[in-house]
């Protein structure tokens, strides 16, 4: 299987290099920016194509690794050429294959969403770490089990998704990744009021964050839970709520703490959290 890439950004770089170092043949890259494509082919040892048609002719599988907003338009440009028998893939976590690859079966091709649960942050370095990433796969049943085997052989765990669950899936990814940034930012802002610089705050929080994440991954969120909500320390939680100057910041604390009550009740079914619930709902 020869894999070609349309789009030479971080994801295209990372997957191309990851595949090539694992012995998978990369046909090459096409990009609206020729310089970006040239950079990618030098990195992966593949070929630079001057047109989508040339890349399609040289590839059995085509990964569209453009920004999400450009995937469908790129696909529509692609189907003006012969894609019969080819597999067309995108790497969006939020979009299903059917959303962005309309009428693909009429073109006698098959479409897939192949998404790594991994923050691809550096186009030259991320391929070294993506070997431990979970991959989710969604799309045409024709080759979906082959894609599952493909990634399992690379050593990646795999989950085949239904297209109806793509939104919940992507919301889960965003919650565990992006929303954590908001919580850490809130913590550093509170520590700034105590005289910490951002650098000092992050240094101080690192052992707390690392130990907590480690405990969650070793057990689960319920067993890892500690703190005033879990202890049903209503007085402390009320003081916390009072220290927020912004309604948005207070709401962030309130809404996440309400979720913590449901975890605490699972951990301590014998405890009565009604007063904690009242304080948070009425804050």
Which of 46, 56, 69, 57 is CA-nearest to residue 6?
A: 56
**pLDDT given at position 273:** 97
79-86 CB contacts, 8 Å cutoff, 24+ apart: 79/103, 79/104, 79/107, 81/52, 81/53, 81/56, 81/57, 82/56, 82/57, 83/56, 83/107, 83/108, 83/109, 84/108, 84/109, 85/60, 85/109, 86/56, 86/59, 86/60, 86/61, 86/62, 86/110
**pLDDT given at position 272:** 96
Specify the CATH number for 3-162; select among 3.30.565.10, 3.40.50.720, 3.30.2130.10, 3.40.190.10.
3.40.50.720
Cα 80 off chain centre by: 31
Within 13 A of 207's CA, how many CA atoms are on the CB side? 2
Give the separation between CA 258 and CA 241, rounded to whole angstroms.
13
Classify burial at 38, counting beta carbons within 10 Å of its beta carbon; exposed 0-12, middle 13-18, buried 19 or more. middle
Regions of the chain with pLDDT less than 70 = none
Q: What is the reported pTM?
A: 0.88
The two structure tokens encoding residue 156: 């990646």
**pLDDT given at position 283:** 80
Please, are residues 139 and 164 in contact by the beta-carbon 8 Å criterion?
A: no
Cα 186 off chain centre by: 22
Residue 62, beta-bridge partner list: 4, 88
Q: 246: Cβ–Cβ under 8 A, 6 or more apart, which residues? A: none
Q: Dihedral sign, CA of 113, 117, 121, 126?
A: negative
Q: At 141, is the secondary structure helix, strand, or coil?
A: coil
Find the length of the chain: 283
Classify burial at 8, counting beta carbons within 10 Å of its beta carbon; exposed 0-12, middle 13-18, buried 19 or more. buried
The two structure tokens encoding residue 148: 């599952």
Give the separation between CA 40 and CA 13, rounded to whole angstroms.
6
Give the separation between CA 208 and CA 231, rounded to whole angstroms.
18
pLDDT tens profile 142-152: 999 999 999 99
Give the separation between CA 183 and CA 134, rounded to whole angstroms.
24
The residues spanned by each domain of the chain are: 3-162, 176-282
**pLDDT given at position 174:** 94
The two structure tokens encoding residue 226: 């500690």
- Fold entry, domain 176-282: 1.10.1040
């Amino acid at each position: 299987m020869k894999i070609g890439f349309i789009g030479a950004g971080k994801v295209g770089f990372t997957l191309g290099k990851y595949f090539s170092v694992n012995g998978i043949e990369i046909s090459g890259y096409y990009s609206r920016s020729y310089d970006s494509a040239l950079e990618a082919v030098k990195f992966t040892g593949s070929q630079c194509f001057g047109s989508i048609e040339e890349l399609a002719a040289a590839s059995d599988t085509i990964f569209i690794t453009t920004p999400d907003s450009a995937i469908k338009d790129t696909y529509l440009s692609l189907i003006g050429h012969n894609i019969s028998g080819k597999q067309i893939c995108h790497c969006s976590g939020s979009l299903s294959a059917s959303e962005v690859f309309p009428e693909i079966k009429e073109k006698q091709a098959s479409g897939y969403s192949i998404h790594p649960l991994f923050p691809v942050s550096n186009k030259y370095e991320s391929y070294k770490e993506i070997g431990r990433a979970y991959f989710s796969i969604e799309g045409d049943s024709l080759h979906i089990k082959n894609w599952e085997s493909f990634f399992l052989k690379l050593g990646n765990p795999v989950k085949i998704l239904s297209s109806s669950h793509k939104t919940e899936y992507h919301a889960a990814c965003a919650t565990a990744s992006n929303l954590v940034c908001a919580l850490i930012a809130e913590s550093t802002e509170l520590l700034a009021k105590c005289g910490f610089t951002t650098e000092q705050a992050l240094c101080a929080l690192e052992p707390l964050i690392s130990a907590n994440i480690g405990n969650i991954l070793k057990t689960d969120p319920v067993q890892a839970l500690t703190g005033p909500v879990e202890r049903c320390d209503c007085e402390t939680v009320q003081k916390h709520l009072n220290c927020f100057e912004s309604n948005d910041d207070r709401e962030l604390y309130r809404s996440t703490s309400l979720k913590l009550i449901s975890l605490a009740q699972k951990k301590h079914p014998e405890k009565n959290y009604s007063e904690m619930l009242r304080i948070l709902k009425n804050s």
